[in-house]
Structure 1
Amino acid sequence: MSDLKNEDNGAISTLNGDFEKLKVDDVRARYEEERQKRLRDDGNSQFIQVEQSANCKRFADDPWADPADIQPLEAKFPDKRSEMLIIGAGWGGIQIAVRMIEAGIPAQDIRMIDPAGGFGGTWYWNRFPGLMCDIESYSYLPFLEETGYVPKHRYSYGQEIREYANLVARKWGLVDSAVFKTQAKEIVWDDDAKDWVVQLIQRQKDPQETESVENLEIRSKFVTISTGPLNWPKLPNIPGILDYKGGIFHAARWAYDVTGGSPTDSSLLNLKDKNVAIVGTGGTSVEIVPHLAKWSKNLYVIQRTPASVGFRNQRETDEEWFRWQRERMRNFHQHFTLGEKPAVNLVDDEWTRAPGLVGLTGNVEGPKSPEEIPAYLAKLVEADMPYQKQIHSRIDTEVKDPVVAEKLKPWYPIWCKRPLFHDDYLQTFNRENVTLVDTEGKGITSMTEDSIVIGDKAHKVDVVIFATGYLAPPAGTPAEKANMTVIGQNGVSMTEEWPRVGPTTLHGVIDAKFPNLFLAGPQQAATSGNYRFNLDEYAKHMAYILTESKRRANDAPFVVAPSAEAAEDWAMQVTMRSAPMAVAIGCTPGYFNLEGELDRIPSEYQMVLARSGLWGSGIEDWIGVIERWRADGNMEGIVVSP
């Protein structure tokens, strides 16, 4: 066994002990103690966004694109125009395109651009061993009823999800609509022509790794931004990171040339004689660690904050479970409540058995004013404690070394970090070749050409894998998430305007200052643990607004946007429901709270933050609002102009 296996990197808290015996105040005190260890002055800036770093861009290179499959821009935009340009060809872009087609917009009028070399978004980029979804496939994969597809497992593996994305694209005729290896650098609203001027750039590499770049300016009548944050990997800004000479990569761009194997073969034979370090213990690492442990000579798991790992209970699909998707998904969301739950739990997973998750998604029983937040937070912690006791008890049961078990225990409520579920992760730490290197919340001190340094101790390793996540979901506007500039009416920059006064949307999908531009949330909209569901609701709402506007314009050219008054009213409604989301403030640092930066928001900016956030009453309540709005049929708040 490695001499690090039982290494004590710091005194265990005096509040440690049997979770069953702790009271609410004890638990909250321990949460705060652990939070304080991890707070940093640099917050979210402690990371390098590799796409925007000249020195680190290689970490974002596309290892999967086939140049033979990429058509040049001139061929995809022969007249330099597009009726509907969708920025993003992941699941969000696919769902928007499908709903637009169902609403009567021909597939040939749609173009979808993406820097990837294929469909799937995060499922295109991520092909690491062990990759699978943590939402049950019967709720996560869209259009199952329409395609008749039955997922193979309760939790689909990444390869199947990517293949299914291509199946959906083929079924709805989207293959010819896709323009891959392409980004929009800038979109600018032309007040005179009433359309968007879009600057496109396409980058490709030939087999000799020579890069070619094509620029093209096009115009598009309508634009939709649907770029999820899980496409832009980030690295910790560690002193000496570029000095390291061994194999090194980000897990979102898995280097099978370093590890051996392939996306369909998890035999990582090249690691048999290697000491390997994986940095991070989030959702990616939890899935990778069991595979690395199986193939590496020695594996060092570098931990800053322990993961909360519940049961997954993976199994092959029993078609008797299969029910209409909408019924399952509504039932899933109805369990995110502190109130009365449905009599039957159709999904019956760890998400639906954790009432504290309302802290992440919002709920109608939440506080209505800032004064009610402390009592609500105490109520949430108490409601969450049985789940946390289960998590801690599982660690004690499955991890043999009590010191390692103690270091693997999460001390934060479930809404502070995305909950994780796995069948093998915890038991992996019983292996002789696996060492947990706990940094006591501090992270890596530095790197040298052959080692990772933590405190004053160097760990010599042959391969370093960064499982350090992506651009934080709450960070920035849709423009930043798409890595581009968006300029609206009267030269207004989205990057400057949203942080200054907040979004001016109606329902979170269309902004008064950016006409003919549709947004895929979640700002001023709602969310759930199953983000695929959110995206479909956004897509259906966009398609309704666009097609109803077209009908009202009698098929003549038109401009659509909310009125300023309607946008302001919606912002006030979001603000009035913002209190339940305030529980993120005070969480242990993570991407949900911008590594603790939310705690330092100046008081004068708090109103902007409140109106920029989520619909705090939960997604089913938000859906009820927009469905009633559509049923009224009068498009209240939407202005359709020639």
Structure 2
Amino acid sequence: MGSIEVDISTRDRYAAERTKRLAAAPNYVKRLEVSKDSSVRDLLQDPWVDYDSLAKEVPYLKNGSRIKFLIVGAGHSGLIHAYHIVKAGFDPKDLVVVDTAGGWGGTWYWNRYPGLKCDVEGYCYLPLLEESGFIPQDRYSHGDEIRRNAEHIAAKYGLQGMFCTRFVAADWNEPEGRWDIMLRRQLGPAHEEVDFAISTQFLVTATGLLSSMSIPSLPGIEDFRREKKLFHAARWDYEYTGGSPTEPHMSNLRDKLVGIVGTAATAVQAVPELAKWAKHLYVFQRTPTYIGPHEDNQTTPELWDKVTKGGKPGWQAERMVNLELCFTDDAEVTPDTNLVQDERSRYPPLAAVWGSRRAVGLGPEKAAEHTEWMLRREAPHAARLRKFIKQEVKDPETAEKLTPWYPGWCKRPAFNNDYLQAFNLPNVTLVDTDGRGVQRYTRNGVVVGEDGAAREYELDALVLATGFEISGTGSCALASSQASCRGRNGRDLNDKWNSPDFATFYGVSTNGFPNMFMSAGANSAGSANMTGVYGSQARMTAHIIAAATARSADPDKTVVEVSKEAELAWLDRLLGNVTWFTPLLTTCPPTYFTGYKTGAQDEKESAMAKRKLLFPLGPVGYDEAGHEYIQKGDLEGVIVH
């Protein structure tokens, strides 16, 4: 990397935005514990479940059940892990997937808001297309199609799902060499909540990175809810708005003043739909999002033949790897070899978040040089999207407020053709909070601004497009499920997660917790297309379990545990390349990518944070490391009892 320069005015704008946001951050970083807070607990209710039908089904688990595999989470991670375990030779009847939702899909079960589509090409994002034979209708799949794909996978491979069931606790039973599990099932108000205990040989926590609703902690929420309507986008209330997930004709909003908090991926899709129906729509913005054009089309036979390369075996895996190379700004990919050819695949700044194989050999002495190089790589892409925003929004003042001034790796960009256009409508108002967010609720609406500049916005309804808590990196892999998990000698997983001896083996297992495997972010890979990462994790998990079982004298009593030396070796491999993340940690305002950090960390905090980072070589480097380990076949670093 040679000496480079970055436009001074851009650098100054970035620095000013970060300083402003750091000062404002304490006002918005607090989140409600939704399942425990009586003011919002009811927002967790499942509007999609058919309790009566579930109650008539014979449950796969009951008090005293003994099974081989318990998978926590029925989303993409859980499905992919179940598939690879079955592919490794295990009977699907020995495996049960539990989830608090009423069906398959995970985040895609809960998210049914108007305008919902995946913003990553579905040919890469939808799991197991080649294996299951599922053909998406569109290049970018609607939410209902993604959910149907999940259901299709479960049916094709005979997966057993136990729904409306919460994972409460897990305790390692040393004499038995199994996990004692406590579960809780609630089939709606007509049925009594039931706690029951089971035993499983292997425990897989596949709750994913986005599974728990994020709701800002602001005063006055109970006052507002007594008079007005409040709901989270992950529990869209079509009974109130009118319409349905497949036909969002929200005619009930024609006489309503509607607000939406948030301007990230959810709001970008929901705002244009709300704008069609609301009497007036107020969009409350804390931080603008980079917005680019979006190109979609239906899956014709001709397009499908091109995408699958005429049915070539391995076509989806090849396409996903190619997309990951684009996401991570890999030296191997060029504009001509980009298979996906969309705006997201041509936007490399997020390599600062996901890592890259370019990180090899990047020592701490090159941190400043690396940051400068990344800023230069990012500059033309950010400038292009800022120009696009100003072209699309007619009012210059509104356009300026919608224009981001931070490096493109600080917040996930969105690609949508209707969001910016919505602000040209007379019934849509952007309320820019200058980085501070909404201050409080009132009986009539919400307040933005402080002291003499405070203004109340009267509303009939408020939509929280505030997303999900990101788990698995800064927090324990089970944090989103709020379960306890105690391994050898009764040690709680949260304790290890937040202790100086924290480490994992490839991000899928950790010493002291035998026969437990995770789908966590820490020490693993991250991506805008987590489907590929879940596949890498699941292949590693299935390989370790299958190989260990084959070595065991009694497969039903196999106990597998990674050694302390093995997880420390993996941690050393991560820390040796961690300089790659310097731009993310030093140039961004507080976002969920940075854990909403509000200031400089002391040496101890910084050391702990580095131990929990993603694998710096990115999803492709992570998959290559796992493939190399599997090919060796010797289970190095794994203790089999």
Q: Is TM more than 0.5 here?
A: yes
2:244 aligned counterpart, secondary structure: coil
In the aligned structure 2, how far is the partner of 1:381 from the partner of 1:441?
22
Shift of 1:45: 4.5
48-57 vs 412-421, greater mean Cα deviation = 48-57
| Residue number in structure 1 paired with 2:338 | 345
Shift of 1:41: 5.6
In the aligned structure 2, how far is the partner of 1:74 from the partner of 1:146?
28
In the aligned structure 2, how far is the partner of 1:243 from the partner of 1:211?
31
Confirm or deny: 8 A CA contact 1:502 1:611 kept in the other structure: no
Distance 1:393 1:420, change over 3 A: same
In the aligned structure 1, how far is the partner of 2:149 from the partner of 2:155?
10
Confirm or deny: 8 A CA contact 1:282 1:307 kept in the other structure: yes
2:171 aligned counterpart, secondary structure: strand
531-540 vs 309-318, greater mean Cα deviation = 309-318
| Residue number in structure 2 paired with 1:591 | 592
Residue deviations 1:404-448 (CA, integer Å, cap 9, x gap): 000000111121111211111011100011000111111112211
2:447 aligned counterpart, secondary structure: strand
Confirm or deny: 8 A CA contact 1:502 1:612 kept in the other structure: no
Confirm or deny: 8 A CA contact 2:64 2:197 kept in the other structure: no
| Residue number in structure 1 paired with 2:507 | 508
Q: 2:183 aligns with which of 200, 203, 207?
A: 200
In the aligned structure 2, how far is the partner of 1:515 from the partner of 1:44?
39
5+ residue gaps, structure 2: 309-314
* 1:249-398 pair list within 5 angstroms: 249-317=231-299, 318-323=303-308, 324-335=315-326, 336-337=328-329, 339-342=331-334, 343-366=336-359, 368-398=362-392
Residue deviations 1:1-39 (CA, integer Å, cap 9, x gap): xxxxxxxxxxxxxxxxxxxxx953321221121122222
Distance 1:537 1:211, change over 3 A: same
Q: Does 1:470 align with 2:468?
A: yes
In the aligned structure 1, how far is the partner of 2:363 from the partner of 2:320?
29
In the aligned structure 1, how far is the partner of 2:395 from the partner of 2:26?
35
Residue deviations 1:471-510 (CA, integer Å, cap 9, x gap): 1343411121322111111111111111112533221111
Confirm or deny: 8 A CA contact 2:39 2:221 kept in the other structure: no
Count of aligned residue pairs for this structure pair: 614
Q: Which amino acid aligns with 1:565?
A: E
Distance 1:513 1:426, change over 3 A: same
Residue deviations 1:30-88 (CA, integer Å, cap 9, x gap): 11211222224638752213123232111111111111232589762364212100000
| Residue number in structure 2 paired with 1:625 | 625
Residue deviations 1:228-248 (CA, integer Å, cap 9, x gap): 242211211121122111111
Runs in 1 of length 4+ with deviation above 3 angstroms?
A: 40-45, 71-75
Q: Which amino acid aligns with 1:217?
A: A
| Residue number in structure 2 paired with 1:46 | 30
Distance 1:223 1:46, change over 3 A: same
Confirm or deny: 8 A CA contact 1:199 1:217 kept in the other structure: yes
Confirm or deny: 8 A CA contact 2:118 2:142 kept in the other structure: yes
Confirm or deny: 8 A CA contact 1:260 1:270 kept in the other structure: yes
In the aligned structure 1, how far is the partner of 2:25 from the partner of 2:396?
33
In the aligned structure 2, how far is the partner of 1:36 from the partner of 1:69?
54
In the aligned structure 1, how far is the partner of 2:27 from the partner of 2:510?
29
Shift of 1:373: 1.4
Confirm or deny: 8 A CA contact 1:73 1:216 kept in the other structure: no
2:497 aligned counterpart, secondary structure: helix
Q: Which amino acid aligns with 2:194?
A: E
Q: Which amino acid aligns with 1:261?
A: G
Confirm or deny: 8 A CA contact 1:578 1:611 kept in the other structure: no
Q: Which amino acid aligns with 1:550?
A: T
In the aligned structure 1, how far is the partner of 2:65 from the partner of 2:27?
42
In the aligned structure 1, how far is the partner of 2:561 from the partner of 2:581?
28
* 1:530-541 pair list within 5 angstroms: 530-541=529-540
In the aligned structure 2, how far is the partner of 1:469 from the partner of 1:326?
29
Confirm or deny: 8 A CA contact 2:28 2:436 kept in the other structure: no
Confirm or deny: 8 A CA contact 1:43 1:594 kept in the other structure: no
Residue deviations 1:162-208 (CA, integer Å, cap 9, x gap): 1111111100001xx111111111111112211111111112214xx
Q: Which amino acid aligns with 1:155?
A: Y
Shift of 1:602: 2.1
Residue deviations 1:146-166 (CA, integer Å, cap 9, x gap): 122221111000011111111
Shift of 1:555: 4.2
Q: Does 1:30 align with 2:29?
A: no
Identity %: 35
Confirm or deny: 8 A CA contact 1:38 1:588 kept in the other structure: yes
Distance 1:300 1:159, change over 3 A: same
236-245 vs 275-284, greater mean Cα deviation = 236-245
1:200 aligned counterpart, secondary structure: strand
535-544 vs 77-86, greater mean Cα deviation = 77-86
1:101 aligned counterpart, secondary structure: helix
In the aligned structure 2, how far is the partner of 1:197 from the partner of 1:163?
33
| Residue number in structure 1 paired with 2:311 | none
Q: Does 1:453 align with 2:438?
A: no
Shift of 1:321: 3.6
In the aligned structure 2, how far is the partner of 1:495 from the partner of 1:634?
30
Q: Which amino acid aligns with 1:524?
A: N
Confirm or deny: 8 A CA contact 1:502 1:609 kept in the other structure: no
Distance 1:44 1:297, change over 3 A: closer
1:262 aligned counterpart, secondary structure: coil
Confirm or deny: 8 A CA contact 2:243 2:250 kept in the other structure: yes
| Residue number in structure 2 paired with 1:569 | 569
1:111 aligned counterpart, secondary structure: strand
499-508 vs 280-289, greater mean Cα deviation = 499-508
- Alignment RMSD, CA only? 1.8
In the aligned structure 1, how far is the partner of 2:8 from the partner of 2:620?
32
Shift of 1:595: 1.4
2:636 aligned counterpart, secondary structure: coil
Residue deviations 1:260-298 (CA, integer Å, cap 9, x gap): 011121100100111110111011000000000001111
318-327 vs 72-81, greater mean Cα deviation = 72-81
Residue deviations 1:504-548 (CA, integer Å, cap 9, x gap): 322111111110001112211112221111001111111111101
In the aligned structure 2, how far is the partner of 1:43 from the partner of 1:563?
43
| Residue number in structure 2 paired with 1:5 | none
